[in-house]
Amino acid sequence: MNKTIAEKVKELLDKDEMTFLKPSKNKITIEQLRQIKPTPRVKQNTALEGLSKIQQKTIMNFGQAIEALEQGKKVAREGWNGKGMWVNLQVPDEHSKMSLPYAYMFTACKNQVPWLASQTDMFAKDWMIVE
C-alpha cells in the first residue's frame, strides 16, 4: 500500500526518528512538532466579491458564455483570482479600426484589454453572467 507523505512523517514521528531544523538552525523537538496544528485553508472566491448574489446564481459552460456575450451580456469565471473581472464583446461600427467582433476584459486594475480564452477557460464550467 502506498503511504502519503503525511502518513510517513507521522510514522517516523511516532518512532522519534526525525530531527527538524528551523531556518535559524534551532532544533525543534518532536513534541513541539506534534503540537503544530495545520491551518485550515479556506477557498477565497475573489472573482465573485464584486458581484451580487443574483449575478452569482447562473453557472454556465464556455459555449453558453459565448452565447451570452453575443446577446450583449458581460461574463466572468468563478475561478478567476482577480476581483470584479469580466469579459465583454466589442462589435465594431463604421468608426472602428477593427472590422470583426472581438472580446475584451475588464481587469482587476480597471483596465480594458483585448482578451483570448485559455484552454482552461474554454473547458471551465464556472462561467456566469455579470450585470
Per-residue pLDDT of the chain (131 residues; tens, 9 = 90+): 577 666 766 776 666 555 554 444 556 666 766 676 665 554 444 555 555 544 455 789 999 999 999 999 999 999 898 889 999 999 999 998 999 999 999 999 999 999 999 999 999 999 999 98
Q: What is the pLDDT of residue 79?
A: 86
Q: What is the pLDDT of residue 125?
A: 94
Q: What is the pLDDT of residue 1?
A: 59
pTM of the prediction? 0.56
36, exposed or middle or buried, with CB in 10 Å at 0-12, 13-18, 19+?
exposed
Give the 3-state secondary structure of residue 119: helix
Q: What is the pLDDT of residue 43?
A: 46
Q: What is the pLDDT of residue 61?
A: 94
DSSP string, 38-106: PPPP----GGGTTS-TTTTS--B-HHHHHHHHHTT-EEEETT--STT-EEEEE---TT-S--S-EEEEE
